[in-house]
Amino acid sequence: MFSAMSPPPNGNFGHILIVEDDATIHLMLSETLRENGFSVSTATSGVEMDRALRREDVDLVVLDVMLPGEDGFSICSRLRATSNLPILMLTALGEDFDRIVGLEIGADDYVTKPFNSRELVARIRALLRRTRAFGAKAGRRLGPLRFAGWRIFPAERRLLSPEGVRVTTTSAEFDVLLALCQHSGEVLSREQLLELTHGGAAGPIERSIDVHISRIRQKIEPDPRDPTLIMTVRLGGYIFTPEVEAL
């Protein structure tokens, strides 16, 4: 199941199409991505993107929100209507609005400008991994799930308790919980969990999976000292016990 995470035989991690009108950002982003083992093509507008998509086999689109002519949101929803291609949006500074709209109209992830290229690469990798691991349909555009009365909304990144109260998590905690939900009843090793999530790429201090798990337990377990939802498997990792169903 996790075989897709080892590098492909030809050494190429995937083909990325960058849709961004600023030439410098283009250039440097392409370089960075190539250095990290991706092949890259670029487009500066929706029209160019359509042309590139017809010509090339693209694995993932990096899409800027602010484009001349048709804007990123419109391109995103148009693209989403016809394909399951993973989309990572570059959103504006401090605009929760952009992020929420972006995720609602079908983007899979977002990075806020000005971004750190290490973070962008990590996000692209994680997104590709998720797509390959879970298949185009199952892995992305994940609908709301329910476990033990709790509801988890992947697109809105929202978690509701059985009482309908919103419970806040860090994004790493959310990713870990979501990965657990998608593999309920399976034993996941710490390495697998790290692979399935961003792996703490955002912060300078990488927290171990154990820290995230303990924080999640604090938030969702009826008794965090005696966990029943996320159980520790000796020498194995963790297993998520509740039944998970789509809402």
Partner 1 sequence: MSARRRFVPGTIAGQIMGLLIIAVLLGVGLASAVLLYLIDREQTGTDREISATVRAAHIAAITREVQGANSKGQLSNLLRDAHVDAGLVSAEGLGSWTPSTPTPRFVDAVAANLREDWGLEPLRRVSPPGDADSIFLEVGDQRALRFEAFRHGGLHNFLLVQTIGALAIITLSILFLSIYAVRWIVSPLSSIASAARSFGRAGADEDELGVDGPREIAETAQALNDMRRRVRTLVNERTQMLVAIGHDLRTPLTRLRLRAERVRDEPLRAAMLQDIVRVGEMLAETLAYVRQGNHQEQPSLTDLPSLLETIAAQFSDVGEKVAYGGPERLAFAGRAQAIGRAVTNVVENGTKFGSCVDISLRTLDHGAVEIQVDDDGPGISPALLGRVFEPFFKGDSARSLEGRGGFGLGLAIARDIVERHGGAIALVNREPHGLSVRMTFKPLPLMQVWEAASAA
Q: How far is CA 184 from CA 14, 148, 179, in A?
A: 29, 12, 9
Output the smallest distance, CB 45 to partner 1, in A: 15
Which residue number, 116 or 232, has a Cβ lying nearer to partner 1?
116
What gap in Å lies between CA 114 and CA 169, rounded to an integer? 24
Residues counted in the chain: 247
Angle at 143 between CA 138 and CA 145, to 5 degrees: 105
- Between 27 and 231, whose beta carbon lies closer to partner 1? 27
By C-beta, is 85 or 170 nearer to partner 1?
Answer: 170
Minimum distance of partner 1 from residue 236's CB (angstroms):
26
Q: Which is nearer to partner 1, 69 or 94 (CB)?
A: 94
Residue 52 vs 160, nearer CB to partner 1: 160
Q: At closest approach, how far in Å is the CB of 94 from partner 1?
A: 4
Footprint of partner 1 (CB under 8 A): 22, 24-25, 28-29, 32, 66, 92-97, 113-117, 144, 151, 153, 156, 158, 160-161, 163-170, 173, 200, 203-205, 207, 215, 218-219, 224, 247
Nearest-5° Cα angle at 35, 66 to 43:
30
117-122 CB contacts, 8 Å cutoff, 24+ apart: 117/28, 117/29, 117/32, 118/201, 119/201, 119/202, 120/29, 120/32, 120/62, 120/88, 121/32, 121/33, 121/36, 122/198, 122/199, 122/201, 122/202
Shortest Cβ 113–partner 1 spacing (Å): 4
- Contacts with 155 (C-beta within 8 Å, 6 or more apart), sequence order: 103, 104, 141, 142
Nearest to 61 by CA among 98, 35, 103, 89: 89
Q: Whole-number minimum distance, CB 157 to partner 1, in Å?
A: 12
CB of 8 to partner 1, least distance (A): 26
User: Which of 50/221 has CB closer to partner 1?
Assistant: 221
